[in-house]
Structure 1
Amino acid sequence: MASAALLLSLFSAAPAANAERPPATGSLQGAFDAAADRYGVPRSVLLAVSYLQSRWDGHGGAPSVTGGYGPMHLTDARTALASAPHHSHGTEDARGDSARAVKDGAGTPVPEPSPLPPRLRTLERAAALSGHSPERLRTGTAANIEGGAALLAAAQRELGHPAGADPGAWYGAVARYSGADDTATAMTYANDVYDVIRSGERRTTDSGQLVVLPADPDVVPDISQAAALGLRTADTARTECPPTVACEWIPAPYEEFGDGDYGNHDKADRPVSQAVDYIVIHDTEATWDVTLKLVRDPRYVSWHYSLRSSDGHIAQHVPLKDVGWHAGNWYVNAKSVGLEHEGFLVAPDAWYTEAMYRTSARLVRYLAKRYGVPLDRQHILGHDNVPGPTGTAVRGMHTDPGPYWDWAHYFRLLGRPLTPSAGPHSAVVTIRPAYTAHRPEYTGCVTAGQACAPHGSGAVRLRTEPRDDAPLVRDVGLRPGGEASTTGVNDTGARASTGQRYAVAERRGEWTAIWYLGQKAWFHNPPARPTAIGARARLVTPREGLAEIPVYGRAYPEASAYPAGVPVQAVSPLPYTLPAGQRYVTGGRTPGEYYFAPGFDTAGHRVVRGQEEYHRIQFGHRVAFVKASDVRVLD
């Protein structure tokens, strides 16, 4: 699958060999001070803008997903990304409904990208303003910071404001730095910058340096400066977003185009008809421009929201009451909201901006509150955590956002930081490696079998024995022949991810074993550098008298629940079993439901509910379902 996501040279290699070494400890703070002095930018403004872009990380000279470099995210995206959009490769049926024809994006022509907007070409202007070469701005940390300061100072002059020491008088320049083309997004970005100034920040960066921004709770930004930016007003008439983000309505079409085919989502009446239980995090595997063109194609597939990496701008495409075709599992689609983030799983050098993480977290908090969705990893899912609906679908399921999405940071922004809820010898653990320092080797990011560039990761690798040279555990759904899993970046067969909770099977020295896909799986968990923390959870295990129980990828009702005219959907188990004696964390009971939406005309749509209930469990890297009648619950 990685080979299908073609990347051009901007993202296809590790940082340049001549990239400047990280400054000596303590000098990064000095670089901000020197740049602020040279260009007359308040230190707090320069530091806060950089924090919102990169959290002060340099990423070793590697670009972000939108071609931004260094702590100031100076963009140089002239080398565009090749087109392998998220839903246009692999074999996953985005709709995930075996009762209907497969619906994916494989046959949809990928549109040509539009000319690059100014927000993706800030590095060349920074070079003209600062006198540094483009190469120096890409690879030199101090030069990069000076380039960003030069852009802020130029924006302040162009808006007719003096280069004073009052941080609040720089609101317009900060809003312009976002590169947004609409007023709401520019102001949301600037408001976030001033929130950082008010609260202050303190962080050790990826180069091992401590940077401190003292809190300035009394700063008062002059928001009236936004009127002079001359930006457009986005269409927000039908958006369903919190007031703290900038959201635009760019609808996905609901159109019929012959032979009973239509697109690109299904009408529904949620939450009246069905509860929304899940929020699914995706990455686009395409640029912002191409992503919007595709979701507006009725022959493509759909999701509810897209989020732009450079500034966190949000576009809504499908009303929340309706069902998007995004997760590859119809049961999950019918009960979820899908968020696509501009990004590329197999570009590990590429990174997401803090601006996008923050707006995404605010949107998820809003959705979770609106629908009562618990803020945990059995309800806030990556696409790579969604189970295959049937055994034959397991191998084709997508794997984004992958091991480089920073779930720990994301949950801090959600207001639910992943902290211990039990002692170090608890019966349950939450996976929680230190993202930046935890760098397991992955392969296949650019070339099959070749090592990816080192990068922080929120996932731990699982082995059959408590030693580093033991084989990885097996996933019989992905490899029916019984072969061991691999270190491939798209191979989820031996991977546990940050925030996921598992029952402890055994401990031996610095190793911990968990129950995983019906087997005992070991990961390195040394006390000095733990990769998991103690947790509390309710567990399920097969009820007495059952040697093993089936595991399902969807929670469909029993056959007798289907009324006349609605075809019975098979309750088909996945190619796994849950043996007696093993325990798995449950995310709660859920009723058996099936949303019958056979076509464009909504008159025949209906929800089928039965008496059968299920437990959603963390079974492997993906969640799964077991029948409540098959298990007993352990506190």
Structure 2
Amino acid sequence: MRRQKSLVSFALPMLMALLSALVLTGFSGGAARANVSTTTSLNTAFTQASQESGVPISILKALCYMEGRLSNHAGHPSLDGGYGCMHLIQNERGDTLTQAAKALHVDPQQLKSDSATNIRGGAAVLRDEAIQLSPSHTLPGNLGDWYGTLVAYSHATTHSTALMYADALFKIVQNGFSAPNETGEVVTLAPESVKVNKATAKNIKAATTIPSGCQVDANVDYPGAVDCILDPNAYDCTPPPAVYPYCTYESANRPTDLSVNYVVIHDTETSLQGALNVFQSHTSGVSIHYIVDTDGTVYELLHDKDFAYHVGNYWYNQHSVGIENIGYDATGFLWYNAAQYLASAKLTAYLVNKYNIPLDHDHIVSHGTVPSPGLSTNHVDPGPYWLWTYYLNLVQQQSGAPFTAKSKDTHIITLKPSTDKKPLGKNGTETPANFNFFYLYTGPSTQSARIPQLGDPTDVTDETNNVETNISYYYLAKVKDPAGTGDTLYEIWYGESDQAHSTPSSLVQSAHLAWLAVPPGAAVEGQGTAVTLNDPSGTVPIYGKPQTGATVIATAPSNAVFVSGYTFVEDGTTNLWYEINYNHRQAWVPASAITPVQSIKTGN
């Protein structure tokens, strides 16, 4: 069942940390005042809350900035059931909202609607957490000693995620910030040098509400992941008498027997429990290596060395690791958030370094950019709201690996619009403006008809007449949109589903020249090798995988020009294949049909 959609917090705190006996304590000096006026400025509220609670003002400011970007969001809860910039939660895993209301003697509704009260409520919870953690039941004496309190306040499912939360907050303290809230009031936190005492978190345990079939242990590949690894006796298709679909993956010894060349990014189209229900069913016929929840918690279901049935193309299954991200492709802006992006990027960075996977969108791919191996459709996730520029930058920061260096050509472009560089909403969330599919037209104007689309024209996830960001294309000509949109239209070769609505219909795609509409400033110089396709018959067959005998899924006329991001030597042979960016998806052509070219100066 789909969760209620609402604003998501920047860090999306997770499960409430276990405290042996939570005792609510009042502020020093007796009972707290019942209310702080809604006219109280945010800066005054921070000062009052710090004085009343004993919590350092820098902790309060950093927490309010990290969780809510200084906003109360009109009293709306986050996806995790948290309220206000202090993210006071009320869900099945904890209730710091009620805890704060009791400490302040106020109605919980006031904590939801009034920023000043919300800040005081967060301070009260932090104070209670700190006293409970202290052997002497006193507040930490140094700023860095509040680390353990913040780990507990995170309400994280796993200890590693809780540590990530506290690390992120102290990074804000050390860097400082100056930012306005929704009313325009500016809050400033000067950078502060602090020695973090991580020993204060060593005895804090994560919550015990681990999903069924999972546990927290050290038997995982990715450090800190929740262990949901499937029992090979029930799920492995390799040993006889396992018969698909009564098994869901194949055991292997990658990369010894099969190279790992890709990380495939998915979304689940369901909740965490819904996803686990599917992947923990031995009759589902599908599997995945990892799931990343909206709060940043990572669940591991298969060992990296084994290959999952996850991408609808057996060859790509053999050579990839799959990551499911909780969310829905059509409404990704309501789901994808900064905490999830960061956790997913850290996981991908680990895989990039482990398997020396090139850091680019040719190898860190969408399910929606993987071709079908035959005459069938494939999935389209994670959809138009997955921010590839933002995500790949996070992967680079976390991995330390350089972006892949490739040859350049003045006629190769890739799209990196501003809408793809960061979430545009509050709290690290996206907005509908983060939509990043770009459409093709039959002529050099957006007043021309769009090229044929396979599915429903109202389906924003349909990928058959558009492209996504960070994929390179070769253009033969360009023109400013005469319709006055400000877009530039680029003429490119693109594989169209033009036969799908013919009689008889066919899913074989055909390459045609089409015009890609690109917003101002979105096109940058791309990378890759421009290649010309050739075949004695005049029609070049296109394949969905680099294997001799593979099904022809598409065609292109001789002399059509595409961008190839990389090559691959067919498993067990010396046959060289070229990947090409055929349309929204990758495709494959044998080297015998390829002529690498320098820039073809056709058009402008």
Which band: TM-score by shorter chain? Answer: 0.7 to 0.9
Closer, same or farther: CA 349–141 of 1 in aligned 2, 3 Å:
farther
Equivalences, count: 518
- Deviation, 1:295, is 2.7
Distance 1:329 1:55, change over 3 A: farther
1:45 corresponds to: 59
- Deviation at residue 230 of structure 1 after TM alignment: 4.1
1:271: Cα distance to partner? 0.5
Alignment CA distance shift 1:150-1:389 (3 Å): farther
Secondary structure of the equivalent of 2:357?
coil
Give TM-score scaled by structure 1 length: 0.70
- Per the alignment, residue 225 of structure 1 pairs with 200
Instruction: Tell me which of 435, 445, 465 is aligned to 2:419.
Output: 435
Q: Are the equivalent residues in 1 in contact too, given 2:255–2:305 (CA < 8 A)? A: yes
Counterpart of 1:573 in structure 2 is 552
1: distance between equivalents of 2:184 and 2:460?
26
Give CA-to-partner distance per residue, 1:579-601, whole Å, 9 cap, x none: 334322212111223xxxxxxxx
Asked whether the 8 Å contact 1:279–1:337 carries over to 2, the reply is yes
Distance 1:464 1:207 in 2: 47
* 1:307 matched to 2:284: no
CA contact (8 A) 1:54 1:354 kept: no
2:439–2:465 contact (8 Å) kept in structure 1: yes
Matched residues in 2 for 1:232 and 1:362: separation?
22
Q: Which moved more, 1:185-194 or 1:461-470?
A: 461-470
Deviation string, structure 1 residues 177-199 (Cα, Å, up to 9, x no partner): 22114433322322233234334
TM-score (norm. length: structure 2): 0.74
**1:156 counterpart residue number:** 130
Residue 625 of structure 1 pairs with residue 599 of structure 2: no
CA contact (8 A) 1:551 1:577 kept: yes
1:532 matched to 2:527? The reply is no
Of 575, 578, 582, the residue aligned with 1:612 is: 575
Q: For residue 467 of structure 2, what is the aligned residue in structure 1?
A: 496
For 2:107 and 2:597, how far apart are their aligned partners in 1?
63
SS at match of 2:273: helix
1:554-585: CA deviation from partner (whole Å, max 9, x where unpaired): 222x2xxxxxxxxxxx41111x3233343222
Residue in 2 that maps onto 1:406: 387
Which of 427, 432, 439 is the equivalent residue of 1:461?
439
Q: Write out per-residue CA displacement over residues 520-572 of structure 1, whole angstroms, 9 at most, x where no aligned residue.
A: 4434445xx4222222321222137563312211222x2xxxxxxxxxxx411
Tell me, yes or no, if the aligned pair for 2:46 and 2:61 is still in contact at 8 Å: no
Gaps of 5+ in 1: 1-5, 15-29, 78-115, 441-451, 480-484, 559-569, 594-608
Q: How does 1:177-576 map to 2 (within 5 A)?
A: 177-200=153-176, 214-216=190-192, 218-231=193-206, 235-241=216-222, 246-256=224-234, 260-261=243-244, 262-300=246-284, 301-310=286-295, 312-348=296-332, 350-391=334-375, 393-394=376-377, 397-415=378-396, 426-435=410-419, 454-475=432-453, 478=454, 486-509=457-480, 510-513=487-490, 514-517=492-495, 518-526=511-519, 529-543=520-534, 547-556=538-547, 558=548, 570-574=549-553, 576=554
**Unaligned residue ranges in structure 2 (runs of 5+):** 9-39, 209-214, 236-240, 425-429, 481-486, 496-510, 599-604
- Give the aligned residue type for 1:465: G
Shift of 1:439: 11
- Report if aligned partners of 1:171, 1:225 keep a CA contact under 8 Å in 2: yes
Post-superposition CA distance 1:22-76 (Å, at most 9, x none): xxxxxxxx97644432322445434544565566788887765545566555555
Asked whether the 8 Å contact 1:31–1:145 carries over to 2, the reply is no
Q: CA deviation at 1:239?
A: 1.6
Using the alignment, how far apart are the partners of 1:469 and 1:127 within structure 2?
Answer: 58
Identity %: 29
From the superposition, tell whether residues 59 and 552 of structure 1 become closer, same or farther in structure 2 (CA, over 3 Å): farther
Higher relative contact order (CA 8 A, sep 6+): 1
| 2:588 aligned partner, one-letter code | F
Q: 1:307·1:315 contact (CA, 8 Å) conserved in 2?
A: yes
Instruction: Show the counterpart of 1:85.
Output: none
Structure with larger Rg: 2
Aligned CA RMSD, in angstroms, stands at: 4.1
Change over 3 Å in CA distance of 1:293–1:612 after alignment to 2: same
Q: Partner amino acid for 2:264?
A: V
